[in-house]
Amino acid sequence: SRGHIAHADAITSNGAHGIASSEAVPKKKKVVLLGTGWAGMSFLKDLNNPSYEVEVVSPRNFFVFTPLLPSVTCGKVEARSIVEPIRNIIRKKNVDISFSEAECVKIDPQNKKIYCRATVNSKLKGEEEFAVDYDYLIIAVGAQVNTFNTPGVEQNCHFLKEVEDAQKIRKNVIESFEKASLPNLSDEERKKILHFVIVGGGPTGVEFAAELYDFVNEDVVKLYPKVREFVKITLLEATDHILNMFDKRITNFAEGKFGRDGIDVKLGSMVTKIDDNEISTKARGNGNTTNTPYGMVLWSTGIGPRPLIKEFMKQIGQGNRRALATDEWLRVEGFDTIYALGDCATINQRKVMEDISEIFKKADKDESGTLTVKEFQEIIDDICERYPQVELYLKSKQVRNIVDLLKEAKGDAAKESIELNIEEFKSALSQVDSQMKNLPATAQVANQQGAYLAKCFNRMEECEKNPEGPARFRGTGRHRFHPFRYRHLGQFAPLGGEQTAAQLPGDWVSIGHSSQWLWYSVYASKQVSWRTRALVVSDWVRRFIFGRDTSG
Ligand code: FAD
Ligand code: MG
Ligand code: MG
Ligand code: MG
Ligand code: MG
């Protein structure tokens, strides 16, 4: 079994030093990483502790820069420009890393073993299954498209999750224009073929609609002028607005722009069924059902857990959750050696109110039974670190300093020499837990989590020697590191016509051509390698000069 490989290595290196002793060099700890997406790639890039042996298992031997996937659908960027072979990343490392192109199909936490199925070659019949032992398991398998079991979606819709999806969409878009240009069709048929429907008004759906609109306006008018008038783009959104997760100003601008462009945005519109000719929707207000003929549908309504994760959650008693629950150190609840991050996981943030007595006791250094302003001030940074909701709360209330917060708890008559008893302390913090939010399923979160976990592994021994670590509020268990903290750097929504909406921290909103340039520069700088950066930038330049490549 693969578990012995590390041991064999240890013996060889002993021999090389000419030490004939039975005392073996300590066996390298084996880390198994599942997934080569944002979370996995970021972990690999930042890991630099050679005392681990890492085995990466993923059905994909490359990383995909997903924010540029929508650009691939209409040929603004080439597929190969946004992928980076994983072996390019690992060959540059000082850590012993191997890769297996396979899918993990089962996790056995009792025996610290995973079961895999190779995806390399279907001719490997009978040899495609293998098991891998681990000391630490890192689960970063991402999520899959959620169809909400809507009939006909699997069979008739495009998804936009993988590179192959984007390539299929591109081919289908171009073929639609070729097909609609054939001489023997009625106008009705042309209309149907060129009716593009997008289900879901989130960032991906909106960006695809914008890409498609630009493609029609900039290239189709020149290349397929006779069919331009038959093109229709419809965006179906079940709630009241598109781009819900963005600032109102961005939502309004996007809805306005799409309206002027002639993109038919249907809000409050639930898709109930899709057959091979028609898409059925139910209007939220009056419940009326409409059947509309379509040529192509992109389904982009959010994500759900992969079968492996569903199965694993069942196994470990996490039941019907939408993602694996971890603590703030990204460890799967109840398991010391299994980590989960990115889209397949959510952090189960601890509530202040659950630990309030313990916090009070630690803060009350002189054991007087009351808390002075000084005692409170000394502990507040640690509280904010352990419970990020406290910081959000202080910000949201614009409490300038702790004294204000304490005064509030004590009532107006309070002076600077406030002391709080436990009940007053509780009431001062009673609202903070309402600020808790799940982190979004984004590349930004996955990327930061991967980097955080790599740092933990880089410093593991150091921290084991000093198990108390820097953070004073540990809740339960032996936590050795600062908990994971997310730093939101902002969000883009490309809206087409060289205009992008940007929402930066502090609710700074900018919409238009200048943010489009910000978008170009941020996405160029975020590329994982100089190779993909050069490819992406030259694709952009090529498109400016020559237009899109429309050979399907
Ligand atoms: P993924 O990146 O999905 O990686 C999962 C990895 O696990 C893959 O390598 C997969 O092959 C592998 N895997 C799957 N099953 C198994 C298995 N059984 N065993 C082993 N390995 C497995 N986020 C942003 O922040 N900004 C954006 O602009 C943005 N745009 C996006 C546009 C599109 C079209 C899409 C689809 C997503 C976009 N996102 C964006 C979201 C972002 O891509 C995800 O949040 C991010 O990819 C999550 O990272 P992950 O590592 O958890 O999962
Ligand atoms: Mg990953
Ligand atoms: Mg990815
Ligand atoms: Mg997550
Ligand atoms: Mg005291």
- The tens digit of pLDDT for each residue in 202-259 reads 999 999 999 999 999 998 889 999 999 999 999 999 999 999 999 999 999 999 999 9
Cβ(342) to ligand 1 under 6 A? yes
Q: Which residue has the higher pLDDT, 326 or 7?
A: 326
Query: 6 pLDDT band (50/70/90 cuts)?
Result: very low
Calculate how far, in angstroms, residue 39's C-alpha sits from the geometric centre of ligand 4: 10
Q: What is the pLDDT of residue 399?
A: 61
Q: Which residue has the higher pLDDT, 68 or 523?
A: 68
Cβ(58) to ligand 1 under 6 A? yes
Average pLDDT of the chain, as a whole number: 87
Task: Kindly report the protein residue whose alpha carbon is nearest to atom 53 of ligand 1.
Answer: 142
Question: H/E/C letters for each residue in 171-208?
Answer: HHHHHHHHHHCCCCCCHHHHHHHCEEEEECCCHHHHHH
Let me know: does 173 contact 153? Beta carbons within 8 Å.
no
Domains 153-304+489-546 and 352-435 share a fold: no
pLDDT digits (tens, 9 = 90+) for 492-530: 999 998 899 999 887 789 998 888 888 888 888 888 888
Cβ(67) to ligand 1 under 6 A? yes
Judged against a pLDDT cut of 80, whether residue 470 lies above it is answered with no
Q: Which amino acid is at 179?
A: K
**Residues 6 or more apart from 346 whose CB is under 8 A from it?**
322, 323, 324, 325, 326, 438, 439
Q: What is the pLDDT of residue 19?
A: 45
Cβ(388) to ligand 1 under 6 A? no
Calculate how far, in angstroms, residue 363's C-alpha sits from the geometric centre of ligand 5: 7
Q: Percent of the chain at pLDDT above 90?
A: 58
Alpha helices (H) along 216-279 = 221-223, 248-261
> Average pLDDT of 131-147?
97
Query: 380 pLDDT band (50/70/90 cuts)?
Result: confident
Instruction: Identify the nearest ligand to the CA of 370 by its number.
Output: 5
Q: What is the pLDDT of residue 473?
A: 42
Calculate how far, in angstroms, residue 342's C-alpha sits from the geometric centre of ligand 1: 8
CA-CA-CA-CA torsion for 428, 431, 432, 433, nearest 10 degrees? 130
- The ligand 1 atom at the shortest distance from the C-alpha of residue 308 is 18
pLDDT digits (tens, 9 = 90+) for 434-462: 878 889 999 999 999 999 999 999 987 76
Q: What length is written for the chain?
A: 552
- Which overall architecture, per CATH, does domain 153-304+489-546 show? 3-Layer(bba) Sandwich (3.50)
CATH class of 352-435: mainly alpha
Q: Where are the domains of the chain?
A: 28-143+305-349+438-487, 153-304+489-546, 352-435
Cβ(169) to ligand 1 under 6 A? no
Q: Ligand 1 pocket check: which of 38, 145, 487 to mutate, most ligand atoms within 8 Å of Cβ? A: 38
> Average pLDDT of 61-83?
93
ipTM exceeding 0.90?
A: yes
Task: Kindly report the protein residue whose alpha carbon is nearest to atom 2 of ligand 1.
Answer: 37
Q: In CATH, what number does 28-143+305-349+438-487 get?
A: 3.50.50.100
Q: What is the pLDDT of residue 465?
A: 59
Lowest mean pLDDT among 167-181, 207-221, 244-258, 402-416: 402-416
Sequential DSSP letters for 488-517: ---EEEEEETTEEEEEETTTEEEEEHHHHH
Please tell me the distance from the alpha carbon of residue 169 to that of residue 10, in angstroms, as a whole number: 50
Cβ(442) to ligand 1 under 6 A? yes
